[in-house]
Amino acid sequence: MKTISSALPAWLVQRLSALYMLLFLLYGLARWNFVRPVGYEAWRSWVLGASVRLPLALFLAALLLHAWVGLRDVIDHQAVSEIFDILRSRPGRLNNQTWNRRYPDYMDKIKTGSPFRVAEVLRDLTLLKSEKDLSFGERKMLDTAKNLLIKEISLVNMKEETEIEAELQELLASV
């Protein structure tokens, strides 16, 4: 979230927007409880009235801001190169734990939303797949990681997902 000042953390913006939306809804319910507009004209005059117009506009802005917080920007071409470097590299040591111990580690990496961490999961699971059979959960996670990267890279490179998938398959086959 680059447009909001770094002095105001995203979580604070989200909390404040949620608080404002709650207060506005409480105000609207209280107003509705005491003065019930009946008919279109009564609703229209209530919504366009000075006591509601500005708070309603702020409510809509808070709603958009609340939904926007936490979304990251799409990566750039430099990041795609870094992802390909991660996929080409071999980890110093492959995780030799049992699948049910590896699974939470890989899931945590995917949940970060970082394409770099997702690339690590894809690389590690692909290497592991070449050494032994993956569990059902790991196969699903491998597909998830691959699909996440394919979608992100296809957006950046403006290519079809099938082209990106073929590039990734070729890259992972060479590792």
Q: Does residue 87 share a domain with residue 37?
A: no
Please give the tally of structural domains in the chain: 2
Q: Does residue 90 share a domain with residue 47?
A: no
Q: How far is CA 68 from CA 11, 17, 76, 91, 103, in A?
A: 11, 11, 20, 35, 30
Range of the domain at 28: 10-68
| pLDDT tens digits, 105-161 | 999 999 988 999 999 999 999 998 988 888 899 999 999 999 999 999 999 999 999
What integer pLDDT is reported at residue 159 of this predicted model? 92
Q: Does residue 87 share a domain with residue 155?
A: yes
Residue 4 lies in a domain: no
CB 113 within 8 Å of CB 129? no
CB 119 within 8 Å of CB 150? no
Q: Which has the minimum average pLDDT: 3-12, 37-46, 64-73? A: 3-12
Q: Does residue 108 share a domain with residue 45?
A: no
Find the mean pLDDT for residues 34-38: 79
Q: Does residue 82 share a domain with residue 48?
A: no
Task: State pTM to two decimals.
Answer: 0.64
Residue 5 lies in a domain: no
Residue 104 lies in a domain: yes
Q: Does residue 39 share a domain with residue 117?
A: no
Q: Does residue 100 share a domain with residue 150?
A: yes
Q: Does residue 97 share a domain with residue 58?
A: no
Q: Which of 68, 92, 108 is the last residue of a domain?
A: 68
Q: Does residue 17 share a domain with residue 40?
A: yes
Residue listed under structure tokens 């939470």: 104
Q: Which of 68, 102, 117 is the last residue of a domain?
A: 68
